[in-house]
Amino acid sequence: MKTERIFCGVCGHATDTALFNHLREAHNLTPEDYAKQCPGAPLFTPAFKDYVQQQGIHAAPDATASGDGTNLWAMRELFGVKVPCPVAVQPGVPAEDGSYHFDPSLAQAVTQSLADNDRVLLVGPTGAGKSSLVMQLAARLNWPIIRANLHGETSAADLLGQNKVKNGEVYFQYGILPTAMKEGKIVVIEELDAADPGILFVLQGVLEEGGTLTLADNGGEVVHPHPRFRLVATANTLGLGDDTSLYAGTQVQNASHLDRWQVVYQVDYLPEKEELKLVKAKAPTLEHSLAKAVVKLAAAVRKAIAEQQIFSTFSTRRVLAFARKIPALGLARALEATVLNKLATPDRAVVHEIAQRHLPNLEPVAAAS
C-alpha cells in the first residue's frame, strides 16, 4: 500500500505508519497527552488509517479528541469473539506471553463475557492459572488491568479511596475500584473468598449491570462506569468455605453477593500434554524425559490429593519452579526446595514416595554440614 511519512511533533521522529509506540517509548506520552501537547498533530498516516479500517473500524465510545482521529479502534477477533480494541498502546496492559497455553473453550467463554460486560468469577485451585488467563486475554486485546488482592485486613478505603493531606491541603486519593471505573480498565479482584464478607458489600452496587459507585468520603461523588470497565474476580472456593484445610482463611460468602456474579467459570490444571509443553517452554534446558517425569509426578500428586491421601497442592506454578531449579540444584535438592519443604511432615513423606516412583535416579538430599 502507498505510505506517507508522519513526524513526531515533539522530536521530529519520522515513521510510515503511526506514532503510538514511539510516543510511549521515547516520550512516555499517551495519545491523549500528545494531542494536548501538540494540538492538531496527526498520530497516524492516512494509509495506516485505511489499513485499520479494512480490519474493521469501531467508533471509540470514549473519544476525547473531538473528531481529530486520535482514538483509533479496530475490531479484533479472539477465539471467535469480535472485540473492539484501541489501536494505540495502552498503559497498564499486561505483557503478552507467547508460551502461554489457552484452553480454547474456556478462553472463548471468558472472552465472550468480557465482550458482553459480564461480572466474571473464576474458581479453581491455587496456581491453576485463573489470573494469568485474564491477563493474557487482556494482553491480546490491548486492555489495561488493575489487580487487587483481598485478605482479612483489606479495608473499604483500599478499594474506594480516602482523604489525604499534602502540603496542608486535603485531597481525595481514588482507590482501585473507582480508578478502574473511570479509566475503563479490567479490575481483577484476587482471592475473593479470603475477604471479610463485610468488605464485599462495597461491590454490591457495582456488580449490578451498569451499576454506579458512590464515594461518600468524596462529597458523595457518583462514579459511573466507563464503557470499557470490567469486573473479574478469582477464588479458590465457591464462597462456601473450605473443609479441606488447603485454603486457610477462606470465608463463607453471602448468597446474594454470589448471585450478582453473572457467570462463574471453573479453571483447572492443564492436561498433561499441555502442561508438558509449558514446562519445556519455561525450562528449555531440561531434558525431555525429565520434563515428562515432572509432569507425571504432578499428576500423581494431584490424584493423591483428590483421593484425600494428602492435603496439599501441586500447582502449575510449583511444577514450573521445580523444573527450572533442576538444572542448577540437581533433582533431589530442587524437589526439596520447591516442593517438599512446603509440605507438612505426613504429606512430605507421601509426596517423596510418589516422587521416587516417577523421577529416575532420585537420591536423598545430602545432609547439611
Instruction: Kindly report, residue by residue over 143-178, the tens digit of the pLDDT.
Output: 999 998 877 677 888 889 999 998 999 999 999 999
My answer on whether 253 and 280 are in the same domain is no
My answer on whether 167 and 225 are in the same domain is yes
My answer on whether 203 and 277 are in the same domain is no
- Per-residue pLDDT band at 254 (split at 50, 70, 90): low
Residue at 92 is within a domain: no
Query: What pLDDT score does 243 carry?
Result: 47
Quote the number of domains for the chain. Answer: 3
Residue at 20 is within a domain: yes
Across residues 104-125, what is the average pLDDT?
95
Radius of gyration of the chain (CA): 24
Contacts of 113 (CB under 8 A, 6+ apart): 120, 262, 263, 265
My answer on whether 259 and 316 are in the same domain is no
My answer on whether 235 and 134 are in the same domain is yes
63 versus 298: the higher-pLDDT residue is 298
DSSP state of 341: G
CB 279 within 8 A of CB 320: yes
Of 266, 296, 328, the last residue of a domain is 266
Numbers of helices and strands, H then E, in the chain? 15, 14
| Domain residue limits at 309 | 272-358
My answer on whether 241 and 309 are in the same domain is no
My answer on whether 29 and 81 are in the same domain is yes
Q: Buried b / exposed e across 82-93, counting CB within 10 Å, b at 16+?
A: ebbbbbbbbeeb
User: Residue 292: beta bridge partners?
Assistant: none
**Is pLDDT at 3 greater than 80 in this prediction?**
no
Residue at 36 is within a domain: yes
Q: How far apart are CA 137 and CA 157, in angstroms?
A: 29
Residue at 284 is within a domain: yes
My answer on whether 57 and 173 are in the same domain is no
Residue at 337 is within a domain: yes
Residue at 91 is within a domain: no
CB 71 within 8 A of CB 65: yes
Of 86, 120, 150, the last residue of a domain is 86
**Is pLDDT at 285 greater than 50 in this prediction?**
yes
Please report, for residues 27, 171, 331, 335, 347, the alpha-carbon distance to residue 363 in angstroms, rounded to integers and kept in the order given: 55, 61, 8, 11, 19
Please report, for residues 42, 52, 106, 176, the alpha-carbon distance to residue 65 in angstroms, rounded to integers and kept in the order given: 11, 18, 37, 26
Cell numbers of 123, please?
Answer: 474458581
Query: What pLDDT score does 164 carry?
Result: 92
For 39-72, what is each residue's pLDDT tens digit? 888 888 888 877 776 665 444 444 333 334 456 7
Mean model confidence pLDDT for the chain: 85
Query: What pLDDT score does 177 carry?
Result: 93
Please report, for residues 190, 254, 301, the alpha-carbon distance to residue 248 in angstroms, rounded to integers and kept in the order given: 15, 18, 20
CATH number at residue 241: 3.40.50.300
Residue at 363 is within a domain: no
Q: How far apart are CA 330 and CA 334, in angstroms?
A: 6
Residue at 161 is within a domain: yes
Q: Residue 289: name the closest of 339, 211, 359 by CA.
A: 359
My answer on whether 221 and 322 are in the same domain is no
DSSP state of 297: H
At residue 35's C-alpha, the angle toward residues 30 and 40, to 5°, is 150
My answer on whether 316 and 193 are in the same domain is no
Query: What pLDDT score does 302 carry?
Result: 93
Query: What pLDDT score does 249 carry?
Result: 44
Helix residue ranges per DSSP H, 170-315: 176-183, 197-200, 204-207, 255-259, 272-282, 288-306
pTM listed for this prediction: 0.79
My answer on whether 249 and 280 are in the same domain is no
- Per-residue pLDDT band at 364 (split at 50, 70, 90): low
My answer on whether 109 and 242 are in the same domain is yes
Across residues 212-229, what is the average pLDDT?
92
Return the minimum-mean-pLDDT range out of 60-69, 186-195, 233-242, 308-317. 60-69
Query: What pLDDT score does 71 carry?
Result: 67
**Is pLDDT at 1 greater than 50 in this prediction?**
no
